[in-house]
Amino acid sequence: MSKIATFETSMGTFKAELYCDRMPITCGNFIDLANSGFYDGIHFHRVIPNFMNQFGCPYAKDANSPRAGTGGPEPNSSYTSCDGTPLKRNAGGCIADELTAKLSNEPGTLSMANTGQPESGGSQFFINVAHNSFLDWFDKSTPSEHPVFGKVCENFDLVSQISQVQTRADNPITPIKMIKVRVE
């Protein structure tokens, strides 16, 4: 029961398979945000070569916002998980941690960003460009717990190129805009 997300950026387009059957809460949240236009016009606010590209903060509509990386969805807003369960984001706009499927943070995977605190992931996610197993929720070598919910299935070369752009404090000097994300 996977679905395909199409990411149209100012540098080109890539696609990712979403693991709806294994990560129904996280994927349902992502699909709701993508298809409602939440991600449209937001810039990548953190890219690190040989690590990852982070995206999804609404404050990053302004590519140079000092608040980029601190925002999320509307508090207490509703969405539906991929198994049809109606759910609600918490008072911070975050979703329940879905630490169930042992999917590693391998190159090309989409993973939930969070603050390190329980239930602190909302709209922000990152795309791994290296195998970052230390970010796996089931790898106890660090306290990081970042669940994987999809993987790039088309044009990973573009994702790698994004991670290699020139940055200032990990923020791309030439902004990279997400024109739109839609899930079919």
Report the C-alpha dihedral over residues 91, 95, 99, 104, rounded to 10 degrees.
-130
Residue 78 burial by Cβ neighbours in a 10 Å radius (0-12, 13-18, 19+): exposed
Distances (CA, A) of 21 to 1, 81, 168, 182: 6, 10, 38, 18
Write out the chain's pLDDT in tens, 184 residues: 789 999 999 999 999 999 999 999 999 999 999 999 999 999 999 999 999 999 999 999 999 999 999 999 999 999 999 999 999 999 999 999 999 999 999 999 999 999 999 999 999 999 999 999 999 999 999 999 999 999 999 999 999 999 999 999 999 999 999 999 999 9
